[in-house]
Chain A
Amino acid sequence: MTVPGASDPSGAPPEAMPVRGPALTRRLLAQPRAVLGLALLTGLFLLAFAGPHLARWDWQQTDFTALREPPSAEHWFGTTASGRDVFALTVRGLQKSLLIGLSVAVLSTGLAALVGMVAGYAGGWADRVLMGVTDLLLVLPAFLVLAVLGPTLGSAWPLLVPALAAFMWMVTARMVRQATISLKEREFVLAARCMGVSPARVLVRHLLPNLGSLLIIDGTLHVGAAVIAESGLSYFGFGVRPPDSSLGTVIAEGAAAATTFPWLFGFAAALLVLLVLAVNLVGDGLRDALDPTGGGGVR
């Protein structure tokens, strides 16, 4: 969380040549971390979207003959106090986490790119207004606003996507703006402008490719942040709410009895941690693969 009036501590504009296409894939696959993360992500996707078709119980069904049963061949992750299948509930939550995480990341990064590039390139009044909005959103306590909106959002969980994205783009937008300001004085941008290329085209064709690595890295990190934010909101009853299921609600239900009935808590918690870990691993690998000036990792 940055604060108005000061430069972002980590927001150095990417100066090196952007890495693209096959070269990027090769460098990414050369990082064991990124490969592990990608493999984990693939596994989680398979589990989330193929799992429901393999299991015998649906998330809406209740098995009155099995209340709080430990994991068995019938109920793979056991059952809850009301006889609902924990596997079905957890997998449904995992689906939501994946969908919400990815769409929030795409939306917030897109918004950050748009606001940051327009503010940095146009300057003047547009810059001042856009940065004013950015500062205001940074000062607004996001969790509080989302919690207050909770009852409205909880009724239809896809609404959580724009709501979460609305509070995640600001820091990236500031970084994009800084990078745009330094890029727009470079020769290739000046040349394009002299040849009469329209501002919109300059942004898309000349600036966007140079901001690519910054946006990709930040977008990846936003996936993990969005997943944690959604499950946190749901944990406290402000996001997805029962009877519908999210990893947050499953964990909240199971946390109180985690000692006596570990399966109510353990599976959902483990999947949540694995998901965020996988995304962070890919993000870290991407940072090293895309940004040769960065300090960490293989050089």
Chain B
Amino acid sequence: MAGFLVRRSLHGAVLVALAASLTYLLAASALRPRAHFEQRNPRPPAAVVDAELTALNLNDRTPLLRRYAVWAGGVLRGDFGRTLAGEPVAPELWRRALVSLRLLAVGTVLGAVLGVLAGAYAAARRHRPADRLITVGSFAVLSTPVFVLAVLLQLGAERINQITGVRIFEWAGEYTPGAAEGALGRLRHLVLPTLTVVLVQAAVFGRYQRHLMLDVLDADFVRTAMARGLTRRQALVRHGLRTALVPTATYFAYTFGFVLLGAMFTEKIFGWHGMGEWLIDSVHRGDVNAVAAVALLAAVLVLLAGAAADIAHAILDPRVRAGR
């Protein structure tokens, strides 16, 4: 067991190191931070630009491998370098990650729970109107890219605001700058982006859970439970759903990468200054160190999520425990 864990962690560490290095090399060779410095008005002399770029370890006249060595050495000491503005990357990364977490925490969990309930319900009422309604709804959401869904929600919210004459929904940023609106104001800003995340998450999990639940509907253990005197509902909830939930728990961790990606769209569209928005803006600016830091964090998170999935599986499924 211990040997397995050590091997697994080593494998993960190697993967993260490779992924981060590849992204850094790619970003450092493809992005053009020089353009960002030359665009200033009045246009600075080439020597000044060179000096500034060298100070940030971004000078494209330094050989790529030397820049990489400096960057990698820094990362090993916990120093992620500095952004184009000269600020250290690490504190900004944590600040942004927290903003993203605030936006995502509620949405992903709520969406997954709603999706599981809807999917299980749809399966139990297979081919009835409720099932068809849920299936059509999840199909519609799954076929709508996040950036279209977000705009549609904004349009709907605007209509509601107009009809009621009150600004119930806000969708620009995390709070209204300069206005003393307190917790309620923050909440109003949170509704639409959270709803976007919830809808997508619920649609994905609903489809998945329905599929799993259909497999256990006619399972022997559900029939046995009913023979023991449980109603169909009790048998399905206590025995069927519990079994069908095992793969979903694993899946929740698996989909983490997609959640990160969706968050990027959601943040950018709703003007939240989170990690996703930072990444997109950094790529546009040519901010190599910031891009590499986000990539490193994303790779670590995806691997941790994978490990969490395995642990969840082991806890929930007695067969896996016995197998070890």
Contacts and interface: CB of A to CB of B under 8 A. Distances in A.
Bound together = yes
Q: Could you say which interface size class chain B belongs to?
A: 35 or more
Contacts of B31: 148
B140 interface: yes
Contacts of B144: 273, 276
Contact of B250 (A9, A149, A152, A273): A9
Nearest to A227: B145
Interface residues of A, number: 48
A232 B145 contact: yes
Contacts of B143: 224, 273, 276-277, 280
A141 B298 contact: yes
B132 to A, nearest CB: 11
Given A3-B254, A144-B23, A144-B294, A152 B30 contact: yes
B298 A269 contact: no
Interface in A116-152: 135-136, 138-141, 143-145, 147-152
A271 to B, nearest CB: 11
Contacts of B298: 141, 144
Given A136-B18, A144-B295, A151-B30, A295 B302 contact: no
A119 to B, nearest CB: 17
Interface of B: 8, 11-12, 15-16, 18-19, 22-23, 26-27, 30-31, 139-140, 142-148, 151-152, 154-155, 158, 208, 210-212, 214-215, 247, 250-251, 253-258, 260-261, 264-265, 268-269, 279-280, 283-284, 291, 294-295, 298-299, 302-303, 305-307, 309-310, 313
B82 to A, nearest CB: 19
Contacts of B18: 136, 139
B280 A236 contact: yes
B10 to A, nearest CB: 12
A58 B158 CA distance: 34
B151 A231 contact: no
Contact of A3 (B211, B215, B303): B303
A99 B309 CA distance: 36
Interface stretch (A67-75, A183-191, A207-215, A251-259): A251-259
Contacts of A145: 23, 26
Contacts of B15: 4, 135-136, 139
B261 A5 contact: no
A269 B258 contact: no
